[in-house]
Amino acid sequence: MQEAISLGREGMTKNGGGPFGAVVVCDGKMVGRGYNQVTTLLDPTAHAEIIAIREACRSLGRFALNGCELYTSCEPCPMCLAAIYWARLDRVYYACTRHDAAEIGFDDDFIYEQLPLEIAARSLPMEQIEREHSLDLFREWMAKPDKVPY
């Protein structure tokens, strides 16, 4: 956890974004590190956890991080939490909470509140279109003999 906090401080000092750092550990070894780089990369997805997951996947040469743990300086936002599930990490350790983050201007809680709402009740307008065309694509995926499931 100390490395995650140190990375958060490093990123903050470099004006990369907020004070967030994360590390992925596999078999007791750090295989991925990251700090928030939203403002330097001009990428709203460049959160510490995402950067650390990407580096860990490259380091290990796989897209699933079973057998790995994530240490992060703050409770993951909904985007990072989804990425953690997709990466199949075994466990997450976090320091500050999303409520602590809200107190310094990072209100991830808004997204957490939006997720359980019905699509029509969310503040972001969403409209379903072209379902049939996309279903064709899904059928092609199901029939693809050389697909790599994940």
Catalytic residue set:
49
Give the CA distances from residue 68 to residues 27, 84, 86, 112, in Å, rounded to whole numbers and listed in that order.
Answer: 7, 11, 13, 25
Q: Which tokens belong to 24?
A: 């992925």
| Separation between Cα atoms, residue 131 and residue 134, nearest integer Å | 5
Decide: 70 and 54 in contact? Cβ < 8 Å. Answer: no
